[in-house]
Structure 1
Amino acid sequence: MSNEILIGRETGDGGVMTITINRPERKNALTPPMYQTMVEALQEAHADTGVRAVLFRGHAEIFTAGNDIEDFLKTPPTGSDSPVMRFLAGIAGATKPLVAAVAGPAIGVGTTLLLHCDIVYAADNARFAMPFAQLGLCPEAGSSLLLPRIAGYQGAAEKLLLGETFDAAEAHRMGFVNRVLPAAELDAFVAAQVAKLAALPAASLRVTKALMKQGSEHELKTRMTEEAVHFGKMLLAPEAREAFTAFLQKRKPDFRQFD
């Protein structure tokens, strides 16, 4: 198990599994081994009747910068069995409540994974962005379906087409952040909230979530598959190569050469 993802149990009897992204020296950028560790943690949480909820968190200054660009260039994910795709399927199909505590930047999948969380709390220093178009890519994790439902079409279009950064207050107005707190208060507040979840009957949490999600599972799975097909092709296309190379060279990409 990678020490870049820390798995813990909280609230005394271990009723909450915590998944902490722990690669601050690389801005918590995610790699296949990190995704694999989270996949295994989600599987464990699903099978363990003692786990009432799963909490995602990063560090006080960074949630995650998204996928590791250098890693993407060297080993682009392919197929539904890749760790990243298995992780996305895991959060989409999670039967137990998913909670997120977000401080600092949450970029790319760092934002889109939140759309699958049932409760999201953000520090006032949190920043969000889905810069897929800027990287020559398309939305992933079902965000092309989920974000318009949450924020409305125009609100989602602005964030997905332009890919610009926005703050926690705007994320709260859009509807995918439940509450914004001072950064110094985030951890204590979230700990109290997940402790409340851990004290509730597992069946009540599971059935309530299932009822709220009922009817949308097939549509979400279909959209995620469609996104993955486009994403995989675009990841290998010249536009993405130009965007990633420009990112690593710290220059502005030039897309004028492409139709």
Structure 2
Amino acid sequence: MSDVLIDRADGVVTLTLNRPARKNAITVPLVEEMIAALEDVARTPDDRAVVLTGSGGAFCSGMDLAAPIRPDVLTFMNRVGRLCVLLHDLPRPTIAKVAGPAMGFGCSLAFCCDLVVAGEGAVFGEVFAQRGIALDGGASWTLPRLVGLSRAKEIAFFGEVLPAAEAQRLGLVNRVVPDAGLDAFVADWAGRLADGPTLALSMMKSALNTSFETGFQRAVDGEALNQTVAFGTAEAKEAARAFKERRQPRFRGA
């Protein structure tokens, strides 16, 4: 059975980590399947939004320390990094749908997504210090941007497990919803994103992702270039027609 389940429905791609007996802990094969899946999404225009989740009541418990790391740690970690960069930079909006534990790398992986929606029973833990290992999964980059440097150090140094409500309070999670309503809430958000202007959203994502490394002048110069492209697209023309006709734009047709 595949370690990553791929479901496509109405422009939304759901990628499900599928090692429930190990709480979806990652291995070499799982990483390679995820890389292949994300590369496929990036080159498939009909894939308009991505949901990342886990099977069996868990999101991801981190790395499977019982599984062999092949061919060596550095090579494996570089492939893990490739997975994280693909997810972070994917020119599609992404949502992490988190039920149950998101621990270690699993926690970091969720934060590689654009949006994080958690069930009220979810828990998050950057527990690397408890394992005597360093941060990975892009956490050294994402945590300071999500919560600030001092709070990021607190989260990393102590490795405490955070309930979903506390993770939301700190700014790590966008929304916390009842466990029974998690699927419906994420399906609604993903559907709205899939109905949206894919090119415009991808330009927004890229600009926001690089905003902390960009001066204000460079940011507004980049916005000017993005708008020059955007105004000429079929998406913008459809939006203009919809405004004149007093209806919602149909970006999928564009």
Residues 81, 150 of structure 1: CA spacing in aligned structure 2 closer, same or farther, 3 A cutoff? Answer: closer
CA distance in 2, matches of 1:142, 1:22: 22
CA distance in 1, matches of 2:77, 2:157: 28
Question: RMSD of the TM alignment (CA)?
Answer: 2.0
Q: Is the 8 A contact 2:59 2:102 kept in 1?
A: yes
CA distance in 2, matches of 1:47, 1:37: 16
Residues 80, 30 of structure 1: CA spacing in aligned structure 2 closer, same or farther, 3 A cutoff? Answer: closer
1:174 equivalent in structure 2? 170
Q: 1:195 aligns with which of 191, 195, 203?
A: 191
Deviates more, 1:132-141 or 1:168-177: 132-141
Q: What is the DSSP-based 3-state SS (H/G/I as helix, E as strand, rest coil) of the residue aligned with 1:70?
A: coil
Gaps of 5+ in 1: 219-259
Relative contact order higher in (CA < 8 Å, ≥ 6 apart): 1
CA distance in 1, matches of 2:63, 2:77: 17
Residues 217, 99 of structure 1: CA spacing in aligned structure 2 closer, same or farther, 3 A cutoff? Answer: farther
1:4 equivalent in structure 2? 3
Equivalent pairs counted in the alignment come to 214
1:185 equivalent in structure 2? 181
Structure ID, larger Rg: 2
Moved over 6 A (4+): none
Q: Is the 8 A contact 1:172 1:179 kept in 2?
A: yes
Q: What is the DSSP-based 3-state SS (H/G/I as helix, E as strand, rest coil) of the residue aligned with 1:48?
A: coil
1:110 equivalent in structure 2? 106
1:227 equivalent in structure 2? none
1:21 aligns with 2:23: no
- 1:56-96: per-residue Cα shift (whole Å, max 9, x none)? 01136211111101125676532378532321221232221
Instruction: Give how far 1:176 is off.
Output: 2.0
CA distance in 1, matches of 2:142, 2:78: 22
Alignment of 1:88-99 (within 5 A): 88-99=84-95
Q: Is the 8 A contact 1:151 1:174 kept in 2?
A: yes
AA in 2 matched with 1:160: A
Residues 186, 112 of structure 1: CA spacing in aligned structure 2 closer, same or farther, 3 A cutoff? Answer: same
1:68 aligns with 2:64: yes
- 1:214-244: per-residue Cα shift (whole Å, max 9, x none)? 35579xxxxxxxxxxxxxxxxxxxxxxxxxx
AA in 1 matched with 2:2: N
Q: 2:83 aligns with which of 75, 82, 87?
A: 87
AA in 2 matched with 1:4: D
Please report the TM-score for the alignment, with normalisation by the length of structure 1.
0.77
Q: Is the 8 A contact 1:19 1:55 kept in 2?
A: yes
CA distance in 2, matches of 1:45, 1:122: 23
Deviates more, 1:86-95 or 1:46-55: 86-95
Percent of aligned positions with the same letter in both sequences? Answer: 38
Gaps of 5+ in 2: 215-254
Q: What is the DSSP-based 3-state SS (H/G/I as helix, E as strand, rest coil) of the residue aligned with 1:55?
A: strand
CA distance in 2, matches of 1:189, 1:93: 24
1:38 aligns with 2:34: yes
Q: Is the 8 A contact 2:20 2:56 kept in 1?
A: no
Alignment of 1:222-241 (within 5 A): none
- 1:23-70: per-residue Cα shift (whole Å, max 9, x none)? 111111111111111101110111011111111011362111111011
CA distance in 2, matches of 1:81, 1:112: 14
CA distance in 2, matches of 1:215, 1:122: 26
CA distance in 1, matches of 2:69, 2:158: 23
AA in 2 matched with 1:96: R
Residues 154, 217 of structure 1: CA spacing in aligned structure 2 closer, same or farther, 3 A cutoff? Answer: closer
Please report the TM-score for the alignment, with normalisation by the length of structure 2.
0.78
